Amino acid sequence: MTDESSFIYRFEPGTRPGAPPLLLLHGTGGDENDLLQLGAMISPGSAMLSPRGRVLEHGMPRFFRRLAEGVFDEQDVRKRALELGAFVEDARRRHSIAAPVAVGFSNGANIAAALLLMKPDALAGAVLLRAMVPLSDPPKARLDGKPVLILSGQADPIVPASNAARLSAMLADAGAKVTLRTLPTGHQLTQADVSLARDWITSVDAQVA
């Protein structure tokens, strides 16, 4: 297990009572500052917990190792997901926040999906932006209606829409309440992602607050 001090991170206290806390998880090459603006746009007033990935790939932070593009070191995925879950538990105690909704992009979305499958109690739900199936043989998770939004890109050269559909089915089979939307875009985020994520968080506020 790990402790909170093992992650470099940013914490922004919440300013709106009842707003769900967010766990912001950046993509490859990002850091703890990358998604703060996105978090503020999709859920104004939420507390925001934003760690930096601890794996370096050619100097770029990530949340787990990969063997090639789209080919994950699944043993490392499992290890890093549990470490992230322990970090979230420690941070919740330190900052007195409820279980957060993960908001992850690309590599960050993949580790968020792995965390849902490995340690479901760590999260209240998730917004997965350009996510892939993180584990070919995941543990039998019980997600018990946790809300999950998956936004994929129809022209994404990294994540085929079919892979996002497989992830959606995997999480739904584990009991999550999954909303999958495929947008007419590539791997990059668009204003449509922001709008859809904001509307979705508003719609599930009562479930995750």
Tokens for 131, please give them: 């996510």
The alpha carbon of residue 153 and the mean position of all alpha carbons in its chain are separated, in whole angstroms, by 17
Residue numbers annotated as active site: 106, 156, 187
Tokens for 29, please give them: 């090459």
Q: What is the pLDDT of residues 66-122, one digit of tens each?
A: 988 878 999 999 999 999 999 999 999 999 999 999 999 999 999 999 999 999 999
CA distance 25 to 17: 23
Please report, rounded to a whole number, the percentage of residues in the chain having pLDDT higher than 90: 90
The pLDDT value given to residue 166? 97
Report domain extents, the chain: 4-204
* Residues 49-65 as b or e (16 or more Cβ within 10 Å = b): bbbbbbbeeeeebbbbb
Q: Which helix (H) or strand (E) holds 83?
A: helix 74-95
The pLDDT value given to residue 12? 97
The pLDDT value given to residue 207? 52
The pLDDT value given to residue 209? 47
* Residues with Cβ within 8 Å of residue 205, at least 6 apart in sequence: 18, 19, 20
Q: What is the pLDDT of residues 161-207, one digit of tens each?
A: 999 999 999 999 999 999 999 999 999 999 999 999 999 999 887 55
Is residue 34 within 8 A of residue 26, CB to CB? The reply is: yes
CA distance 101 to 117: 14
CA distance 195 to 92: 28
Q: Please name which of 132, 123, 105 lies closest in space to residue 190, comparing C-alpha atoms.
A: 105
Average pLDDT, the chain: 93
Top CATH class of 4-204 equals: alpha beta
Classify 130 in phi/psi space as left (phi over 0), alpha (psi -120 to 50) or beta.
Answer: left
**47 φ/ψ angles, rounded to the nearest 5 degrees:** -65, 145
CA distance 155 to 81: 28
State the pLDDT confidence band at 4, using cuts at 50, 70 and 90.
very low
Q: What is the pLDDT of residues 58-67, one digit of tens each?
A: 999 999 999 8
The pLDDT value given to residue 45? 96
State the pLDDT confidence band at 6, using cuts at 50, 70 and 90.
confident
